[in-house]
A and B are shown apart, each in its own frame.
Chain A
């Protein structure tokens, strides 16, 4: 497929690997932000091909993994209400809540549906006026425009039986939270290309400067990741800390203006609790006042106690780059994709599941 297969070209990948080996003289720790990148790095065996001096740690970039237990509980509460069709992206269904997950609830007879796009939920609402349709609006900045658009659509069509459970998380505040942790050892970041497609690069300039840390906006295919790593190592070896753009075929410095306007029309920035990390100020989106009738939290007057995270799961340390999945004593024993203890084992973009599924990761971890 055009603009996809070329970036999986083995020969080109090998050339990048050679170049990375050639220029690396010191040990460096790089963090890729996005779970899609973690998945690609592990699946394609890239971690094994890098010089020993380069250590990749896997960031908090999987919305499935960072959605807090309390929000999963809210989703389960909503899906249990009479007359509700609860719609979600597929990967949220197996995330454990305090008592059960959405998949179990579906098996018990709740109307829980897996959708590809929030826009489909609006269509379902239009066709089922006697029911309440709720969409589980999770995701990073990348997904926010589509979720916002669903609300704008519903409003224009005067659809009153549609609402969203907004659970958005934002990348730059999480990066700052990680960098300001005293134990942090990260020398450079690969920023998530798709988030930047929407938001652009402006937010990263102050971060790179303040923490003297190179940030390279990077894509998801093997060649993208290798080029991103090479650009980051080049900077590190020269002592630079710039914001660079490897993913320029999609990312413009200012991002997608219309997408940003769409987000701002519907959402306000809010504090957000990240699973395993805790509350990060200004790191989420919540439905604003203008569209409050589409806010499922208000519409269904949710008022649940804050849920306690499972203490046996060290996903917080993993997402901050302090530990690797195999350093968790439950990895592959008490915690497996079939019965995950924590969210990083649920989603294929979660680092624990990525390491579990691809055996070639074993060597890297040893």
Chain B
């Protein structure tokens, strides 16, 4: 139930009421309608984290990259310390 998965916004349907901001989100090719009212700044092509039909966060691409470089950075810091 608590699963939340990232998907890419492929279209946005604006409605007059802000609680009805909907979009189509692709999860690796599977398209679902998702409520976007909690991520008002989300645009087409953004990746959002979706939980039970509601997008709850937009991915921060810079932060995502940091995980992959984390160990490298740590090693560099160690090297600086050791020198």
Q: Mask for A209-247, Cβ within 8 A of B = 1, else 0?
A: 000000000000001100100000000000000000010
Tell me which of B20, B28, B52, B67 contacts A143 (CB under 8 A).
B52
Tell me which of A1, A63, A249 contacts B2 (CB under 8 A).
A63
Give Cα A344 to B19, complex, Å. Answer: 35
Q: Which of A272-305 contact B (CB under 8 A)?
A: none
List residues of chain A with CB within 8 A of the CB of B56.
Answer: 142, 145, 194, 197-198, 256, 259
Tell me which of A1, A35, A145, A156 contacts B38 (CB under 8 A).
A145
List residues of chain A with CB within 8 A of the CB of B63.
Answer: 248-249
Please count the residue pairs between chain A and chain B whose beta carbons lie under 8 angstroms apart in the complex.
Answer: 119
With both chains docked as a complex, state the minimum distance between the C-beta of B68 and any C-beta of chain A, in angstroms.
7
Give Cα A117 to B57, complex, Å. Answer: 17
Interface residues of A (CB under 8 A from B): 1-4, 6-7, 12, 15-16, 19, 34-36, 61-64, 89-92, 116-120, 138-140, 142-143, 145-146, 149, 152-153, 156, 192, 194, 197-198, 223-224, 227, 246, 248-251, 256, 258-259, 262, 347, 349
Q: Which of B27-51 contact A (CB under 8 A)?
A: 27-28, 35, 37-40, 47, 49, 51
* Given contact pairs A19-B71, A256-B57, a sample of 10 additional A-B residue pairs in the complex whose CB atoms are under 8 Å apart: A1-B6, A7-B67, A89-B1, A116-B52, A120-B53, A146-B54, A149-B37, A248-B63, A251-B57, A256-B39
Cross-chain contact B67 with A224 (CB below 8 angstroms):
yes
Tell me which of B3, B19, B49, B67 contacts A149 (CB under 8 A).
B19
Cross-chain contact A250 with B67 (CB below 8 angstroms):
no
Interface residues of B (CB under 8 A from A): 1-6, 8, 17, 19-20, 27-28, 35, 37-40, 47, 49, 51-54, 56-57, 59-61, 63-64, 66-68, 70-71, 74
List residues of chain A with CB within 8 A of the CB of B61.
Answer: 249
A–B pairs, 21, beta carbons within 8 Å: A1-B6, A3-B47, A6-B68, A62-B2, A64-B1, A119-B35, A119-B54, A143-B1, A143-B51, A145-B54, A149-B54, A156-B19, A192-B2, A194-B2, A194-B49, A197-B4, A249-B59, A250-B59, A251-B57, A259-B56, A347-B1
Tell me which of B1, B17, B71 contacts A156 (CB under 8 A).
B17
| Among B19, B28, B49, residue most surrounded by chain A Cβ atoms (within 10 Å) | B49
Interface of B is mostly: mixed
| Among B3, B40, B59, B67, residue most surrounded by chain A Cβ atoms (within 10 Å) | B67
With both chains docked as a complex, state the minimum distance between the C-beta of A360 and any C-beta of chain B, in angstroms.
22
Cross-chain contact B49 with A250 (CB below 8 angstroms):
yes
Please provide the 6 A-B residue pairs with the shortest distance between their CB atoms, ordered closest to farther: A117-B53, A248-B63, A1-B28, A249-B64, A249-B63, A3-B6
Give Cα A61 to B28, complex, Å. Answer: 27
List residues of chain A with CB within 8 A of the CB of B57.
Answer: 197, 250-251, 256
List residues of chain B with CB within 8 A of the CB of A92.
Answer: 1
List residues of chain A with CB within 8 A of the CB of B17.
Answer: 156
Tell me which of B6, B35, B52 contacts A4 (CB under 8 A).
B6
Give Cα A105 to B54, complex, Å. Answer: 29
Give Cα A197 to B56, complex, Å. Answer: 7
